[in-house]
Homo-oligomer: A and B are copies of this chain.
């Protein structure tokens, strides 16, 4: 998956590893976090597959840069991946895993958990406004507005997700409050 993300970025234009890392952080990290070390490793693997080629440019200073560009084969692979029917994507949601077992804690601890959740699980750590501005910055250098439209779609998803998460937390808090009041009533 990360492989295809990198491939997709290189499809917009050649970059060195560091640039891939920064563009990745600015655009994809809302829903996929990758370590720098992993990006460099994937670049090697991508090159072995013949999907990208690297050209080392020795600077006068002796400092070398490694320019990565997508190959024809890489472009074909990107298209293949986009069109493949993918089957089911594996889901792994750490938040749900914890929620599932929260009955081990007290009701009040449960309520606190859901109260602090929306802020903790926020997708846009610096606020969505900044993310929107950042996207518009990039958009200036992308001739095709259709490409940034899909970027916007992923951000719309993020916003809808956050809204839904807040609603879910309120719902859980409400049910827990009910249980709490019922049990205190029964104890009289």
Contacts and interface: CB of A to CB of B under 8 A. Distances in A.
Interface of A: 1, 4-5, 8, 11, 27-28, 30-33, 78-79, 81-83, 85-86, 88-105, 107, 109-110, 120-121, 123, 125, 144, 146-151, 153-154, 156-157, 160-161, 164, 167-168, 171-172, 175-176, 179
Given A82-B101, A86-B120, A89-B94, 6 more contacts: A5-B101, A32-B91, A86-B98, A96-B157, A99-B150, A149-B176
A92 B179 contact: no
- Number of copies of this chain that the complex holds: 2
B179 A149 contact: yes
A123 B90 CA distance: 10
Given A101-B82, A164-B160, A31 B93 contact: yes
Contacts of A144: 103
